[in-house]
Structure 1
Amino acid sequence: MPTRILPAVGDADAVRSITTLLSQLPDAEPVAPVVDSTQLIDTLARLAAESVDELPEVVVVHERIGPVPALELIREVALRFPAVGVILVTSDASPGLFQAAMDYGARGLVALPLSYEELASRVQAVAQWSVGVRRHLGAGGDVFTGVGGTVVTVSGAKGGTGATLTAIQLALAAQASGRSTALVDMDLQTGDIASYLDVQFRRSVVDLAAITDISPRVLADAVFRHDTGLALLLAPAEGERGEDVTDRAARQIVSALRSRYEVVVIDCGAQLGGAGAAAVEMADRALLVTTPDVVAVRGAKRAVRMWDRLQIRKAEETTVVVNRHSRATEIQPPLIQRITGTAVAATAIPANFKELQSVVDAGRIHELENKSSVKQALWGLAGELGLVKVPEGAQKAGRLRGVDRGAVSFRRRKEG
């Protein structure tokens, strides 16, 4: 059986060199190369969705791949597609880099300039490893059926726009619909999810920051299991400790969570740090919560432009959520969309703090009544984003009514 090899190389000259050598290997079947980290993950996810058997046995990652650094990309591939063997091609063949590559999940390292003999030897060894792993675990077994969970980040255009409330309710909606869900507080200095959910905790996201291999057991030790079923990974009680969570650590943590939960909702707060930027860059959906006032909308526009300048996320890849919406406000969602250049969620969250005050003050936001218009809209937003799993016939039976009504509430207001 031929060995399928997927090169991940951003440099045009390197692509030609690697693909030429790969095509000369015995029993090798090189596939079309991918040019960046995003395309690699998307390609592997698409193949895994069709069948695990469609995944290549070997992925060759060039050291200059981007935008995600090569080692962190290798870690994500190893976590999400554990039977795919990864080889790192690098100009640095030092023992230190070799050890780091192995720690991140690589199965081999080949030095530049490429040698046919060395490449052939590594590819053969890694392919045999991959085939052995698949045989041991069973091809098509449950362990490989997932392609990674959906990651959604929630950021505030400025402080006080309701990003934390939005993140919590999105996570609650996903969990209530039957999806395994993790809620992460990446607002590292001022995060307050624990207060909203009346949680006393010992572990936090900081406890994972220095760990290079986040195993399921290590992750389980850091996560707090809430009464609602949510898995909570909380911000540290001492805000200054948040500095320990670097962008590199954040990538490792998000990758570990994505590999073990169907939905991961991350509250990034209103202040952008390295960890939050990494989370927004990795997210499948990035939400930016604003209120319909001049200061907040300016903050949203400023955030979107900054994300674009830093190459974290393009405006058209960002979704603005309008909180505290009212027909009486002068600034309406279509205007916000024009100002920010983003998509705007069809579901707007109504201005009705009276519904929230008692549960917020009690730290029991998860006990917000189902009839609350705010909850219905937020759970409707979760439906709009595809975070909830709606059982067949659930709409007729009246379950998840908040999702149904909330998802159309803003459309009705527009039509009216």
Structure 2
Amino acid sequence: MPTRILPAVGDADAVRSLITLLSQLPDAEPLPPLGDSTQLVDTLARLAADSVDELPEVVIVHERIGPVPALELVREVALRFPAVGVILVTTDASPGLFSAAMDSGARGLVTLPLGYEDLAHRVQAVAQWSVGVRRHLGHGGDVFTGAGGTVVTVCGAKGGVGTTLTAVQLALAAQASGRPTALVDMDLQTGDVASYLDVQFRRSVVDLAAISDISPRVLADAVFRHDTGLALLLAPGEGERGEEVTDRAARQILSALRSRYEVVVVDCGAQLGGAGAAAVEMADTALLVTTPDVVAVRGAKRAVRMWDRLQIRKAEETTLVVNRHSRGTEIQPALIQKITGTALAATTVPAHFKELQAAVDAGRIHALDPKGTVRQALWALAGELGLVKAPETAVVRRGTRARGGDRGAVGFRRRRE
């Protein structure tokens, strides 16, 4: 999530120096500087009237600001806008001024002349504090404190291999462990997450496709909040409208979700268009679900080779998940891994459709029996992938029939660019 930084500086030379450094900070969004204390307070009041989410995370107050003295201005901002972190920029590095600044409500102090490392460290710390305060106050929904949430894409080797079931259960496991989670149906023509979870909806991912700047409020309007706590961004009811979601739109949508949720699970289906390809490319973990039969394995091999040719993702960066596995199956996971050249999830999902049929028919896939082997395996997979918090990971792994045992089998997580 970009850190919005609002400078309040009365000195022209200081403005240029500060803006130059702020523009070099990673994930920083410097706002137009304000020249006096009145402008600053009025601007913050106007933004707060709309929503606390509209306020910048960080305000930088220069010692030469006026007409209100810097420390008085810091105190006023801290009292009126407690979710905003204030940094004071000053030439005085004495313990007395530092103490006075902290007493006034400043969250940090940076001395002149400005240095990149000092400024970057202080901005990052204050931004994290600000986001944490907003969560504590109940503002901003599921704001995630950190560089960004984890994006996991789930694709199918072909239709009917259990892609949606896998995506839904991974998301449910993450949410149940206490991690704010969004589930996105990026199977734009034939996606059916809504039917699996028995929800009626008006808005879909298409409603965000034409918006270049997806604000927290706009995102919240498009998301459906499920009874389980999951945030759902669903595929359009009219499949032909899926073409409106371009690869660029998909990147913007997922970036917005990543800034708001700790975990974002994306159901890409079996037919990968531009939007799905963009999702797979930017994902931290890309799963490819297959069943242990010749047709599905061939489909998995074709998908992996296509992704490599189109430079979407390399085979070794993709994690293969084997669904409907049994010991009597002729094609075993190790052979599928050798054929596809992918990484292999240690957790396999057993072939027990009877456990699923009633829940699927009723549109209540979220109500699977916790003691069922399919549900246990999928939640164990969530633990293997690091999608659940540590205490929950220990619980769900009890039912796992792990193969290999080391985390090296988990798909390679690509570093975000």
| 2:181–2:262 Cα contact (<8 Å) kept | yes
Aligned residue in 2 for 1:376? 376
Q: 1:403 aligned to 2:397?
A: yes
| 1:382–1:403 Cα contact (<8 Å) kept | no
| Whole-angstrom CA distance in 2 between matches of 1:161 and 1:254 | 25
| 1:377–1:409 Cα contact (<8 Å) kept | no
Structure 2 counterparts to residues 4-403 of structure 1, below 5 A: 57-59=22-24, 81-83=27-29, 138=126, 140-143=128-131, 145-391=145-391, 401-403=395-397
* CA shift in 2, pair 1:135/1:274, >3 Å: closer
* CA shift in 2, pair 1:320/1:225, >3 Å: same
Q: 1:258: how far off?
A: 0.5
| 1:188–1:235 Cα contact (<8 Å) kept | yes
Q: 1:82: how far off?
A: 3.6
| 1:370–1:402 Cα contact (<8 Å) kept | no
Q: 1:409: how far off?
A: 3.9
Residue type matched to 2:179 in 1? Answer: R
| Whole-angstrom CA distance in 2 between matches of 1:136 and 1:358 | 49
Aligned residue in 1 for 2:57? none
| Whole-angstrom CA distance in 2 between matches of 1:203 and 1:388 | 28
Name structure 1 gaps, 5 residues minimum: 1-25, 31-55, 61-76, 86-126
Residue type matched to 1:405 in 2? Answer: G
Residue type matched to 1:242 in 2? Answer: G
| Whole-angstrom CA distance in 1 between matches of 2:29 and 2:211 | 22
| Whole-angstrom CA distance in 2 between matches of 1:231 and 1:253 | 14
Aligned residue in 1 for 2:34? none
Q: 1:405: how far off?
A: 2.2
Q: 1:141: how far off?
A: 2.1
| 2:290–2:322 Cα contact (<8 Å) kept | yes
* CA shift in 2, pair 1:139/1:190, >3 Å: closer
Residue type matched to 1:232 in 2? Answer: L
| 1:181–1:230 Cα contact (<8 Å) kept | yes
| 1:320–1:344 Cα contact (<8 Å) kept | yes
Q: 1:58: how far off?
A: 3.0
Q: CA deviation digits over 1:4-58, x for unaligned, max 9? A: xxxxxxxxxxxxxxxxxxxxxx989x9xxxxxxxxxxxxxxxxxxxxxxxxx733
| 1:59–1:84 Cα contact (<8 Å) kept | no
| 1:157–1:300 Cα contact (<8 Å) kept | yes
* CA shift in 2, pair 1:206/1:372, >3 Å: same
Aligned residue in 2 for 1:69? none
| Whole-angstrom CA distance in 2 between matches of 1:410 and 1:354 | 24
| Whole-angstrom CA distance in 1 between matches of 2:289 and 2:124 | 46
| Whole-angstrom CA distance in 2 between matches of 1:389 and 1:84 | 34
Aligned residue for 2:292, secondary structure, equals coil
| Whole-angstrom CA distance in 1 between matches of 2:125 and 2:24 | 20
Aligned residue for 1:286, secondary structure, equals strand
Q: 1:150: how far off?
A: 0.2
Residue type matched to 1:57 in 2? Answer: L
Residue type matched to 2:351 in 1? Answer: A
| 1:257–1:264 Cα contact (<8 Å) kept | yes
| 2:205–2:234 Cα contact (<8 Å) kept | yes
| 2:164–2:267 Cα contact (<8 Å) kept | yes
* CA shift in 2, pair 1:232/1:27, >3 Å: closer
Q: CA deviation digits over 1:292-331, x for unaligned, max 9? A: 0000000000000000000000000000000000100110
Residue type matched to 1:168 in 2? Answer: V
Aligned residue in 1 for 2:106? none
Corresponding pairs, count: 294
| Whole-angstrom CA distance in 2 between matches of 1:384 and 1:161 | 20
| Whole-angstrom CA distance in 1 between matches of 2:192 and 2:123 | 46
Aligned residue for 2:264, secondary structure, equals strand
Residue type matched to 2:353 in 1? Answer: F
Residue type matched to 2:257 in 1? Answer: L
Q: 1:411: how far off?
A: 5.2
Residue type matched to 2:285 in 1? Answer: R
Aligned residue for 2:376, secondary structure, equals helix
| Whole-angstrom CA distance in 2 between matches of 1:286 and 1:136 | 29
| Whole-angstrom CA distance in 2 between matches of 1:136 and 1:374 | 42
Residue type matched to 1:239 in 2? Answer: G
| Whole-angstrom CA distance in 1 between matches of 2:161 and 2:333 | 15
| Whole-angstrom CA distance in 1 between matches of 2:168 and 2:266 | 9
| Whole-angstrom CA distance in 2 between matches of 1:139 and 1:230 | 26
* CA shift in 2, pair 1:354/1:261, >3 Å: same
Q: 1:135: how far off?
A: 6.9
* CA shift in 2, pair 1:369/1:244, >3 Å: same
